[in-house]
Structure 1
Amino acid sequence: MKQFPLFLVVLLLNSCQYFEKQVPSEKELLQKELKSINWKEVDEFPSVADCEKIADKKLRQHCFFEKMAQLIQEKLDVDSLSILYPELDTIEVKVTVFPNATMKFEPQFPKDSVAYDTIKIDSILHARLVDFPKVNPAIKRGVPVKTQFILPVIIKEKSTK
């Protein structure tokens, strides 16, 4: 029994090493966390009400892109782009969805696009691409973020009867 206090003292002196662990600094932890985040991907893609019920991430993304392309095509079908520029069958539109759920559309033209008036096409697109349904922005780590993507929009030629 006389050895018990001695044993307890030796045990306490040995256990001190467990209390003196190095705690990483706040900046080190922040840097480590920032490096581990993949900034090229979002946790949830933007979505419209019609696609909200889809649980699978890839199917929801596909639904959103299809719905956006369809809406843009419907808005451009009533316009004269196909009459003014019959050689123009597809326009690539850069869509930006902002964290506050607003959208911006910018047509993307090839570098050698001198065959048609890009300013006129741009103004037609800006006039037509308004009044879209509410779009929920993309989510990254629980925070709404800005996303950009390019949609190929097929300009349907009106049939003449």
Structure 2
Amino acid sequence: MTDEPRLSARELLDHLDTTLSRGTRVRAVAALLAGLAGAVFVTSLWWSEPGPLPGRTRLSFALLTVFCLAWACYGGWLLTRRVPLFATEQVVAGWIALAASLVTTGITAFAAARSGVGLWAALAIGGLFVAAALTLTVRAHRRRAALLRRMRQLTQQDRPGGDR
């Protein structure tokens, strides 16, 4: 038995370093910059197209721009967090990736079906992206749930009458 005082779970959480790890900062900056660069690139392509574009093409450009801006917002949000995230950032990234892969697969499949070329290839490749994004999203939800469960267990142990 040591004479060191035991910290409660809340005290331990309060003592956590509130800065992001180097890897998290790098990922946040990469998401922010890639999102902004993608939004600028897609928007410049959209505006530089000659003549009026069909409605589906305008919708596709708009959706791609929205996804790029979503990644930029995610990177900015992650950089501004000063609290333990408990894997929330992975859940958010998973949902963005899943939405982007589903919509992109749908647009690509629609374009392939209209042109009569490569529908199965578009569905197969898009399906791989959707499956990967879905897998990462499910894993992120499970990891976050496990971390929150552990936090609740530690918090309950600190209460009077809790297990020590």
When normalised by structure 1's length, the TM-score is: 0.27
Q: Which protein is richer in strand relative to its size?
A: 1
TM-score by length of structure 2 reads 0.27
Greater RCO structure (CA 8 Å; 6+ sep): 1
Q: Quick check: which one's helix share is greater?
A: 2
